[in-house]
Amino acid sequence: MPISFSEDKKIFKLDTAGSTYVIRVNGLGFPEHLYYGAPIPDVNLPGFAKRCRYASFSATVPEAEGDYFDGFTPDTWPLEIGCSGCADMRTAQLQIRNADGNAATDMRYVSHRIYAGKPALPGLPALYEEKPGDCSTLEIETADPVTGAKAILIYTVFERFPAMTRSMIVENASDRPFEIERALSFCLDMNSDAYDLISLYGRHAQERDYMRRPLAHGIQGIYSRRGSSSHAHNPFMALISRGGDEDHGEAYGFNLVYSANFTGLVDVDYNNSARVVMGINPDDFGWTLAPGERFYTPEAVLVYSAEGLGGMSRAFHRLYNHNLVRGEWKYKKRPLLVNNWEGTGMTFDDEKLVAIAKWAKETGLEMFVMDDGWFGTRDDDRSALGDWVVNEKKLKGGIGSLVSRVKAMGLKFGIWYEPEMISPDSDIYRAHPDWCVHVPGRARSLGRFQCVMDMTRADVRDYLFNIMSEVLANNDIDYLKWDFNRNITEAGSALLPPERQKEFYHRFILGTYELMDRITKAFPHLLMEGCSGGGGRYDPGMLYYSPQIWCSDNTDALSRVDIQFGSSLCYPASVQGAHVSASSRSSYETKRNVAMWGTFGYELDPAKISEEARAEIREQIADYHAYYDTIHYGDLYRLICPWDDPYRCAWEFVNEEKTQALVTVLTKFYKEKRNFFLRLKGLDPERYYRRKDTGDVCSGALLMNAGVSLFDFPIGDGESKMLCFEAV
């Protein structure tokens, strides 16, 4: 069993495919963290809970008073759960305002359970066991002896990957209600602070930019208060040993399976211990828990790699391909699509769309996607969201007729929705002004001229399910793009009582998840693509419902490549919506080479591009099919990262059998005149590989140790080359 418990030492040992995690229940019943890192056989870790000889002013629990000068205080212990209000003064995982009005909470071990498999989290997306034997779970039940609050810490370890998940259940086992003010998903007290913190920040059209900073005393981290995981910070962070890089150093990755307000913090204390916490953002959050009720936090994914960031990313990629993405499209080849958004905006009619579809068919594409503008009175972004009924002025004969015409060509058909939004200028808003998110007496701020549907309400969700089902059930639709184009402001629901308004943000995302769940269950054949003004909700919560997410509205290959590098820190290529567009910079070859790092497709109006461009596109399709498996399910190596080299970047996919490698090199700005050797990674050193374009045969050892000479590589700004190596 990958989880063991040593009764005499009160030690839990959790082993994954490439990591060990050790917990001890100390003499006073506090679950302490002893170790997280490379696999070890030990269950005896002497001295590991000690952080200092002298606890500076820190108080201790009365039972431990005599040991004060040995640093014997919860404030210096590495704890598996940190609570507010008693002797642990660091950033808390849990804060409960109890029925007496104070926030003192002190959780001690009560019992534990070890079992095969992984529990589902009611109403929340979560990783799952793909095959029996994949996962084992430990639940540690802790309780506060005074308030009757309980916290159950859940750890699931994965046997095929160096990964585990953590979450927490808060239970009210008392006879009076209390309010949860803060319930984060996990607390991890690292043994040292000798790490750099890596996170992904950004904005619309510039998502997931890489940022690295050394840990410093105090609190550092990332967050969202925007109602979605957001463009601003992805719910991902990593700690890497100082000096560590793509291939070296210990890397710990943390990713929250959640799509709304979150926080991820690292608190370095006076003993140079780094406490990592992640979970629902406690700002403007509260949850009243009645006696007998439970609250489930979202789960966080923890990945450990002794092989730097590259190893960490590859572990995330495999884990998400196998244990997060679900449904019929999990391993099914995703259709090569054309989307009309960048080509036409909302100015189209059925003939225009059919013409694009016709070109798509002739070019060898497999699906046509109709984007925004097909419903209500929607000619620009000022109206009609929520009126999900076809606009027959644009689509004569309705959706049915358009779908039949597209299908008759042998193409699949996709459609766009933005279910969680409502335009003030819409029939549905006029009929139900209360259905939008708002607070009494305050104007409703607009974002892109729209308001947000109150997803906490069951009647709103039923309306959306029914009106969407009307279209999805009566037409042969294969794909749905689910968009979300603004932040949430004036967060409140007309149906929640004042004391529960703090529950709004979490209830909102639970409502969205519920609707997504209903749609995916009712229409299991549908391929869903998540979207939020590009990649504003690019998180594992969304990936549980939609096997792919539109990565960014930025389709300019030269800047998009940075977004893709950043995204790849924890998200696999198989989930990354990436299209070639008619955007002005760079050649179609470079656009194709960049978009191949993803689900691939086109986003243009063929009538607006040249005949040469159309001919080039026809030739690009074959490569997509040839390398699909290697890109979607192979291993990614970031050979030259944009954060290390502003002039040139390179990446490589190697298939599982190590028989095919696809290498892409891109010159952003031409600088060097000397020959350049690009060292490949992940090949079999003993095999020989043929470079497809030149026929040169070299050993894997040579290609990895000396590299491939790119003397003949195109050197101009924005030029790129894709090289394929096949084992001979």
Q: Which two tokens stand for residue 488?
A: 């949430």
Terminal Cα distance for the chain, rounded: 41
- For ligand DGJ, which stretch binds (CB under 6 A), given 7-15, 388-396, 517-525, 530-538? 530-538
Judged by beta carbon, residue 307 or residue 371, the one nearer ligand DGJ is 371
By CB under 6 A, the residues from 386 to 425 that bind ligand DGJ are 416
How many CB atoms lie under 10 A from the CB of residue 59? 16
Give the pairing of strands 527-530 and 479-482. Answer: parallel
Q: Would you count residue 372 as binding ligand DGJ (CB under 6 A)?
A: yes
Query: Going by C-beta distance under 8 Å and a sequence separation of 6 or more, which residues neighbour residue 667?
Result: 647, 648, 713, 714, 715, 716, 717, 718, 719, 720
- For ligand DGJ, which stretch binds (CB under 6 A), given 2-10, 425-433, 463-471, 529-537? 529-537
Total residues belonging to the chain: 728
Minimum distance of ligand DGJ from residue 105's CB (angstroms): 43
193: annotated active-site residue: no
Q: At what angle do helices 588-595 and 611-633 cross, to 10 degrees?
A: 20
Residue position matching structure tokens 């139900």: 432
Largest distance between two CA atoms of the chain: 84
Distance in angstroms (rounded) separating the CA atoms of residues 606 and 358: 10
Q: Which residues on adjacent β-strands are paired with residue 412?
A: 367
Minimum distance of ligand DGJ from residue 534's CB (angstroms): 5
Q: Determine the residue type at 65.
A: E
By CB under 6 A, the residues from 269 to 298 that bind ligand DGJ are none
Give the x/- contact pattern for ligand DGJ in 335-354, rule: CB under 6 A.
------x-------------
Minimum distance of ligand DGJ from residue 486's CB (angstroms): 10
Distance in angstroms (rounded) separating the CA atoms of residues 221 and 243: 20
- For ligand DGJ, which stretch binds (CB under 6 A), given 76-84, 263-271, 528-536, 589-597? 528-536
Contact criterion met (CB below 8 Å) for 287 and 183: yes
Minimum distance of ligand DGJ from residue 18's CB (angstroms): 36
The count of residues interacting with ligand DGJ (CB under 6 A) is 11
Judged by beta carbon, residue 550 or residue 689, the one nearer ligand DGJ is 550
Minimum distance of ligand DGJ from residue 369's CB (angstroms): 9
C-alpha angle 36-40-41 in degrees, rounded to nearest 5: 135
> In terms of Cα–Cα distance, which of 57, 44, 86, 53 is closest to 72?
53
Judged by beta carbon, residue 19 or residue 234, the one nearer ligand DGJ is 234
Judged by beta carbon, residue 255 or residue 344, the one nearer ligand DGJ is 344
Q: Which of 534, 634, 700, 718 binds ligand DGJ (CB under 6 A)?
A: 534
Minimum distance of ligand DGJ from residue 535's CB (angstroms): 8
- The active-site residue, picked from 144, 483, 539, 562, is 483
Helix residue spans in 166-257 (DSSP H): none
Minimum distance of ligand DGJ from residue 394's CB (angstroms): 15
- For ligand DGJ, which stretch binds (CB under 6 A), given 227-235, 238-246, 435-443, 531-539? 531-539
By CB under 6 A, the residues from 672 to 711 that bind ligand DGJ are none
Judged by beta carbon, residue 531 or residue 617, the one nearer ligand DGJ is 531
**From residue 117, how far is each of 156, 214, 293 by CA, in Å?**
8, 37, 24
Minimum distance of ligand DGJ from residue 391's CB (angstroms): 15
Judged by beta carbon, residue 531 or residue 723, the one nearer ligand DGJ is 531
Distance in angstroms (rounded) separating the CA atoms of residues 624 and 601: 9
Q: HSE-up of 576 (CA within 13 Å, CB side)?
A: 29
Judged by beta carbon, residue 174 or residue 552, the one nearer ligand DGJ is 552
By CB under 6 A, the residues from 537 to 596 that bind ligand DGJ are 550, 553
Minimum distance of ligand DGJ from residue 553's CB (angstroms): 5
- The active-site residue, picked from 134, 196, 553, 635, is 553
Judged by beta carbon, residue 306 or residue 531, the one nearer ligand DGJ is 531
Q: What are phi and psi of 93, to 5 degrees?
A: -85, -35
**Burial group, residue 669, by CB count within 10 angstroms (0-12, 13-18, 19+):** exposed
387: annotated active-site residue: no
Contact criterion met (CB below 8 Å) for 589 and 723: no
Judged by beta carbon, residue 421 or residue 570, the one nearer ligand DGJ is 421
By CB under 6 A, the residues from 468 to 527 that bind ligand DGJ are 483, 485
Distance in angstroms (rounded) separating the CA atoms of residues 166 and 187: 9
> Catalytic positions, please?
483, 553
Please give the residue ranges that form the binding site for ligand DGJ (CB under 6 A).
Answer: 341, 371-372, 416, 483, 485, 531, 533-534, 550, 553
